[in-house]
Structure 1
Amino acid sequence: MTPPEQLYETEYEVGQDNIQKFGMDIHNPVFWVSALLILVFVIGTLMVPDQAKVVFDGAKTWSINNFDWLFLAAGNIFVIFCIVLIFLPVGSVRLGGQDARPEFSLLSWFAMLFAAGMGIGLMFWSVAEPVGYYTDWFGTPLGAEPNTPDGASKAMGATMFHWGLHPWAIYAVVGLSLAFFAYNKGLPLTIRSAFYPLVQDKSWGWFGNVIDVVAVLATIFGLATSLGFGAQQAAGGLDFLFGIPSGINTQIAIIVGVTAIAVISVVRGLDGGVKLLSNINMTLAALLLLFVIGTGSTVAIITGFWDTAVSYAEVIVPLGVWWGREDGSFMHDWTVFYWAWWIAWSPFVGMFIARVSYGRTVRQFITAVLLVPTVVTIVWMTAFGGTGLEQVMTQTGALADGIGDYTLSMFQMLENLPLHAITSFIAICLVLVFFITSSDSGSLVIDSITAGGKLDAPVPQRIFWAVMEGLIAAVLLFVGGASALGALQAASITVGLPFTLVLLAMCVTLYMGLSHERKYVMRAA
């Protein structure tokens, strides 16, 4: 039997197309093309922000409305594929070879996965989304009657559907593919490497360059969008808590501060940067979670864990199909939008997960990336979303009047619990630190892609991309405002359509590689 590595014989070497310039290790042409396209996009958007938003919103709407079936079908395939891998013999394959051992402890590894994956999203939406569905401010899933027990059940189930197995399966497919082909086959840690079994050395030509450029654009646009909108949420929180004006100056100051800390973090590297901040994140998040459980309706929250899980199980199939839906508007505005967003983010999150998962078996990887986050999310959503729903039902606080500014929903919920000034301040810190870790890990990913798959790019290159993320967000927010950020977000989501096909192909190539690896290991033993 042909040894696994011989199936991947190639004359390509990591860094062979690189040039050293300005203290950076630049992969040609991915670095230059990516930088040029980013510059063209930013300048064009700043010149005509409203028109740019119209154009990209049109592209986003066209993608979502015409390919809803593809997004939903692909999401289901990814979940089934990942779960099947857990039970197949290939689940015993170890990333890096049978003698490889993990670089990070289990807790640090999980903290980094969660912080990079969707920690910030849970701060945004854990209260706003279930409350918005229950009250019909955001539309109701599956035709549920708003402000009813059935509406509450479906609101929690739909929220979990958007934040549970499906998004994490998307990340798992990309992360496992990249980790396997990089650590077991010696290929560069870039998106193009996952296609080597199908296209062979064409991976190192124009085909691979296009894939990596799109991955860079999706990553930096997604991060810049989140940083801009996150600055608005943090500024709103500061205004809500301390009366600090939440205008553009405060938002820019937040972006500058987040970017400065992110630069320090990327210079320190994985151990001294992302790992440290992720551990801080998870500690603060756990404390806030325990506080809400302990000071809210504790019994209702604890019993609500099972209710949320049951609601999730009841809606996972109906929300996963695209035919016969009486809630077509909800499906397009929320579910398909989310799937396109998660897929657009998958190059960034997937590659970062791959970067920190050396030494884990496939079974461990899928369990940690797919199942554990889903369980934790059920707990988080039940505590925060359930408490928010209870306040609406009992007409307590600002949430009883509906969702006005969704960025304030978390703070409005905390306002009705003890020590709300302290917990709201912790929530603001969590938002900021989650953004720092996202910026930090995203910079490390872009560094790797634009360095041709090298794991450790030079420090100036790390600084360059970290600064670029903050600069794009700040300039677009300052000059173009919400329209410019909206155009950037729409452009990121539009990328989700072609990348859906990329992820489906990854499932095929990953299974091909894992199957051969497993057979060779068994025979060698």
Structure 2
Amino acid sequence: MGDVVKDEYQTDYVAGQDNVRPFGLDLHAPVFPITAVLVVLFVVGTLMFPTAANELLVGTKDSIIENFDWFFLLSANVFVIVCIALIFMPVGKIRLGGMDAKPDFSTISWFSMLFAAGMGIGLMFWAVAEPVAYYTDWFGTPFGVEANTPEARKLAMGGTMYHWGLHPWAVYSIVALSLAFFAYNKNMPLTIRSAFFPLLKDKVWGWPGHIIDTLAVVATIFGLATSLGFGAQQAASGLNYLFGMGSGINVQMAIIVGVTAVALLSVLRGLDGGVKVLSNINMALAGILLFFVIFAGPTMSILQNLWATTSSYVGNVVAFSNPFGRDDEAWMRGWTVFYWAWWISWSPFVGMFIARVSKGRTVREFVTAVLIIPTVITAVWMSSFGGAALEQIDQGIGALAEDGITEVSLAMFQMFANLPLTEILSFVGIVLVLVFFITSSDSGSLVIDSITAGGKTDAPTAQRIFWVIMEGAIAAALIFGGGADALSAIQASAVSAGLPFTVILLIMTWGLLKGLAHERKLLIARGEMS
């Protein structure tokens, strides 16, 4: 039939054509220096004026949450609705990379990498602390229910699952699918700006695109630093719990330095030899830990809790998603808004990483895998870890039952204390946190380097080394600047970076839908799709 429909998404722009190459590097001229200067200034300023930096971060976070809580919740709902629609729409048959493209990685390795990059450290940090916090009213309860009641227990698990289920993975799906589609089907650079081509056309390669990519890098590096900060706190608490070596700022900073050094080695090994291997190790260790908790803990209670968690999540997801007229405004703002901002700020990193490893998948296969499968596994994980902790509280067993949450990063180890082989279990937990830590740092440097190299995926290794060091430096600066209230400073950075990028994501969603609809017309005209 020929090309009945003209492909409007053609461009002569080549990835890296605007790059400068000093000292053997390959840098996108405006994006790399701007983001590098901003990051260095933040690190230096925070280390020089920690109190002022912490006050500025927390003040910005509080202002954003007070004025834009509704915007975060409604935007996240849009992403979920669009993703579910894509599974059933005719464009779901479009294959990333062309109709004859084959996947680069096995399904198991593909899933391991996207899951490890997507939530690893967070699942370890919050799987026990979050449901316990909701159940005991550590910082508000969902819908304002009375703490330590059967209703509070159900909503604690449902609320936890809400924050780790469809909504975050929908955010990742939108970014990843947009990047993969325009890179593999339209031969555009693998960078955030490419997803805006349907709206800006060739203007996207100028300053509008530079601004988009700069915002993406800033959001990514602060979202990533949030997770690295959590990982450092939890690893320090675990090491102190096992070996009594302290868990203060010095220990946390030492962990960041050590993990960053290992991440540098992983960078030198590349995607296949570094991230892929570490991701598979992550999944194996996580599987061992999960099954041990299920079978060594209150097995029947955990299995029953899985059903309760799922039913509470499904039954309350609409109410949880409503930003208006809430009886639990403090809970919604303190938890849900923070999570949505965190996921959104982390989405360029996770989205681009998933896009890098997802060539050859259909849109329907891609969205189903990225949206549904992790949600199911997360439900099992949260039900097991959180369910075991809540059962211990109900039975009056252990520190969580006696004292509640005294230190968020210690909660998982306090739950482990009431299971067999406590020391071994805690040690495996620490190792898993550290490996997730390394994977996130390595994957993040790969993504940030690609954006700041104009979409090139084969930029010199020295550039990734720079970003690995910067990621560790920001996490260390947030912990140092936050001092005793480091957790609040870490959360503030994610919220502050998440707001502007939410606007970018909404526009990106519109561009993606336009691009997929146009691609389907082309394929039908060429006789490649019915």
What's the TM-score, normalizing by structure 1? 0.97
The code of the aligned residue for 1:327 comes to D
SS of residue in 1 equivalent to 2:37:
helix
* Structure 1 residue aligned with 2:180: 179
- CA deviation vs aligned residue, 1:102-160 (integer Å, no higher than 9, x gap): 11111111111111101111100111111110010121001211111000000000000
Q: Note if contact 1:50-1:483 (Cα within 8 Å) is conserved in structure 2.
A: no
* Structure 2 residue aligned with 1:405: 407
Q: CA deviation at 1:164?
A: 0.3
- CA deviation vs aligned residue, 1:460-492 (integer Å, no higher than 9, x gap): 111111122223333554576356775464233
Q: CA deviation at 1:239?
A: 0.7
Q: Note if contact 1:4-1:517 (Cα within 8 Å) is conserved in structure 2.
A: no
* Structure 2 residue aligned with 1:471: 473
Q: Note if contact 1:5-1:185 (Cα within 8 Å) is conserved in structure 2.
A: no
SS of residue in 2 equivalent to 1:281:
helix
The code of the aligned residue for 2:357 comes to V
- Give distance in 1, aligned partners of 2:376 and 2:485: 36
- Give distance in 2, aligned partners of 1:307 and 1:27: 50
- Give distance in 2, aligned partners of 1:308 and 1:485: 27
The code of the aligned residue for 2:52 comes to Q
Q: Note if contact 1:82-1:172 (Cα within 8 Å) is conserved in structure 2.
A: yes
- Give distance in 2, aligned partners of 1:286 and 1:456: 33
Select between 49-58 and 420-429 the one with higher mean Cα deviation.
Answer: 49-58
The code of the aligned residue for 2:8 comes to L
* Structure 2 residue aligned with 1:457: 459
- Give distance in 2, aligned partners of 1:13 and 1:242: 54
CA distance change for structure 1 residues 460 and 314 in 2, over 3 Å: closer, same or farther? same
CA distance change for structure 1 residues 55 and 38 in 2, over 3 Å: closer, same or farther? same
- Number of residue pairs the alignment of both structures matches: 525
- Give distance in 2, aligned partners of 1:161 and 1:281: 24
Q: Note if contact 1:267-1:462 (Cα within 8 Å) is conserved in structure 2.
A: no
- CA deviation vs aligned residue, 1:252-278 (integer Å, no higher than 9, x gap): 321122111111111111110111000
* Structure 2 residue aligned with 1:231: 232
- Give distance in 2, aligned partners of 1:402 and 1:247: 21
Select between 88-97 and 51-60 the one with higher mean Cα deviation.
Answer: 51-60
Q: Which of the numbers 487, 500, 504 marks the counterpart of 1:502?
A: 504
* Structure 2 residue aligned with 1:59: 60
* Structure 2 residue aligned with 1:158: 159
| Aligned pairs (5 A) from 1:299-318 | 299-318=300-319
- Give distance in 2, aligned partners of 1:82 and 1:453: 25
* Structure 2 residue aligned with 1:105: 106
- Give distance in 2, aligned partners of 1:484 and 1:414: 25
Q: CA deviation at 1:231?
A: 1.4
The code of the aligned residue for 1:134 comes to Y
- Give distance in 2, aligned partners of 1:146 and 1:422: 33
- Alignment pair present for 1:142 and 2:146: no
Q: Note if contact 1:225-1:473 (Cα within 8 Å) is conserved in structure 2.
A: yes
| Aligned pairs (5 A) from 1:220-259 | 220-259=221-260
- Alignment pair present for 1:522 and 2:524: yes
**Unaligned runs of at least 5 residues, structure 1:** none
- Alignment pair present for 1:382 and 2:413: no
- Give distance in 2, aligned partners of 1:300 and 1:506: 43
- Give distance in 2, aligned partners of 1:334 and 1:485: 13
The code of the aligned residue for 2:232 comes to A
CA distance change for structure 1 residues 59 and 208 in 2, over 3 Å: closer, same or farther? same
* Structure 1 residue aligned with 2:397: 396
* Structure 2 residue aligned with 1:270: 271
Select between 443-452 and 460-469 the one with higher mean Cα deviation.
Answer: 460-469
- Give distance in 2, aligned partners of 1:122 and 1:5: 46
Q: CA deviation at 1:335?
A: 0.6
- Alignment pair present for 1:421 and 2:430: no
- CA deviation vs aligned residue, 1:281-330 (integer Å, no higher than 9, x gap): 00000000000111111112122221111010111011100112111111
CA distance change for structure 1 residues 488 and 133 in 2, over 3 Å: closer, same or farther? closer
- CA deviation vs aligned residue, 1:78-107 (integer Å, no higher than 9, x gap): 111100100011001000000111111111
- Give distance in 2, aligned partners of 1:247 and 1:495: 26
SS of residue in 1 equivalent to 2:457:
coil
The code of the aligned residue for 2:263 comes to A
Select between 209-218 and 88-97 the one with higher mean Cα deviation.
Answer: 209-218
- Alignment pair present for 1:27 and 2:17: no
CA distance change for structure 1 residues 67 and 475 in 2, over 3 Å: closer, same or farther? closer
- Give distance in 1, aligned partners of 2:482 and 2:47: 6
- Give distance in 2, aligned partners of 1:278 and 1:182: 24
* Structure 1 residue aligned with 2:323: 322
- Give distance in 2, aligned partners of 1:462 and 1:129: 34
| Aligned pairs (5 A) from 1:43-54 | 43-54=44-55
- Give distance in 1, aligned partners of 2:291 and 2:157: 20
SS of residue in 2 equivalent to 1:456:
coil
The code of the aligned residue for 2:390 comes to L
* Structure 1 residue aligned with 2:8: 7
The code of the aligned residue for 2:508 comes to M
- CA deviation vs aligned residue, 1:21-79 (integer Å, no higher than 9, x gap): 23321111100011111122222222222222222222222222111111111111111
Q: Note if contact 2:79-2:174 (Cα within 8 Å) is conserved in structure 1.
A: yes
SS of residue in 1 equivalent to 2:8:
helix
- Give distance in 1, aligned partners of 2:116 and 2:273: 15
Q: CA deviation at 1:333?
A: 0.6
* Structure 2 residue aligned with 1:334: 335
Select between 242-251 and 439-448 the one with higher mean Cα deviation.
Answer: 242-251
- CA deviation vs aligned residue, 1:163-214 (integer Å, no higher than 9, x gap): 0000110110011001101110111111111101001111111111011111
* Structure 2 residue aligned with 1:281: 282
Q: Note if contact 1:191-1:211 (Cα within 8 Å) is conserved in structure 2.
A: yes
Q: Note if contact 1:45-1:484 (Cα within 8 Å) is conserved in structure 2.
A: no
SS of residue in 2 equivalent to 1:13:
coil
Q: CA RMSD in A?
A: 1.6
CA distance change for structure 1 residues 461 and 11 in 2, over 3 Å: closer, same or farther? same
CA distance change for structure 1 residues 5 and 413 in 2, over 3 Å: closer, same or farther? farther
SS of residue in 2 equivalent to 1:317:
helix
SS of residue in 2 equivalent to 1:6:
coil
Select between 451-460 and 159-168 the one with higher mean Cα deviation.
Answer: 451-460
- Alignment pair present for 1:512 and 2:493: no
**Unaligned runs of at least 5 residues, structure 2:** none
Q: CA deviation at 1:3?
A: 7.3
What's the TM-score, normalizing by structure 2? 0.96
Select between 49-58 and 413-422 the one with higher mean Cα deviation.
Answer: 49-58
SS of residue in 2 equivalent to 1:505:
helix
- Give distance in 1, aligned partners of 2:4 and 2:213: 28
- Give distance in 2, aligned partners of 1:5 and 1:207: 25
- CA deviation vs aligned residue, 1:338-370 (integer Å, no higher than 9, x gap): 111111111111111111111111111111110
* Structure 1 residue aligned with 2:95: 94
The code of the aligned residue for 1:328 comes to E
Select between 248-257 and 72-81 the one with higher mean Cα deviation.
Answer: 248-257
The code of the aligned residue for 1:45 comes to T
